Structure 1
């Protein structure tokens, strides 16, 4: 069909592999997200505090009952300063219900992942009168997407531009 230079073919292959493996949408079998702790109960968890978040592998977790990652941003204000905290985690999508089996005469737990629990994107939460103001919640469906929303958006723009240039060159 098209006779591309081998170096261009390799570059297209690497770009597509990177895009598919890092930014592909997640199905119902789980997602990898960043997770950090707002407070710790175990002294060994001090390295996992959100104030120490650096995007490294120690903050990565696999979320088998989520299809989305979450990022929650809260700004605490005082008379003299403002502090912003960012919590990262798996989106809570697991729903547990109890069903009764008439034949066994027993109750059973039934767990399911509610994939429609949240929409992708960011929204401002409900203001409940706290001096902090309402939190901002962001939900995304790409592996490790809750490190920073702007990085995913920037990557998609760069990938789109490179793909457009390659298509233009092929035509």
Structure 2
């Protein structure tokens, strides 16, 4: 099922976090840059094959004498993973959940 999803064009979103995140995907180190350095460049663009929209979150921290905003950007979390028993073994199947109902 993954190969079918990989061949479909994915939406592209900007991705950044409050801190630098380090992830290992297929033995490759992937760094997520900080949103404080966000400049709309290609360095922040990622593919979102399991999303139909992008997400931007602004969290406000109320400190003693000030407010501080923390921003994150990325793919909307719409991926649903299920275990399915096929051909006498368990396999993972992925689907993308709709965010809004039509109508």
TM-score scaled to structure 2, two decimals? 0.72
Structure 2 alignment gaps of length 5 or more: 1-7, 23-29
Per the alignment, residue 82 of structure 2 pairs with 97
CA distance in 2, matches of 1:62, 1:34: 9
CA distance in 2, matches of 1:60, 1:94: 19
Would the aligned equivalents of 1:50 and 1:86 in 2 still touch at CA under 8 Å? Answer: yes
* Matching residue within 56, 78, 90 for 2:63: 78
Would the aligned equivalents of 1:34 and 1:88 in 2 still touch at CA under 8 Å? Answer: yes
CA distance in 1, matches of 2:91, 2:73: 32
Q: Per-residue displacement from partner, 1:143-164 (whole Å, max 9, x unpaired)?
A: xxxxxxxxxxxxxxxxxxxxxx
> CA 1:83–1:91 in 2, change beyond 3 Å: closer, same or farther?
same
- Relative to its length, the structure with more strand (as a share) is 2
Structure 1 alignment gaps of length 5 or more: 1-27, 120-171
Which one has a bigger Cα radius of gyration? Answer: 1
1:111 lines up with 2:91 in the alignment: no
Q: Secondary structure at the match of 2:36?
A: helix
CA distance in 2, matches of 1:29, 1:39: 29
> CA 1:97–1:45 in 2, change beyond 3 Å: closer, same or farther?
closer
Would the aligned equivalents of 2:17 and 2:71 in 1 still touch at CA under 8 Å? Answer: no
* Matching residue within 65, 68, 81 for 2:53: 68
**Superposition RMSD on alpha carbons, in Å?**
2.1
- Deviation >3 Å, runs of 4+: none
- Relative to its length, the structure with more helix (as a share) is 1
TM-score scaled to structure 1, two decimals? 0.46
What is the number of residues matched between the two proteins?
A: 86
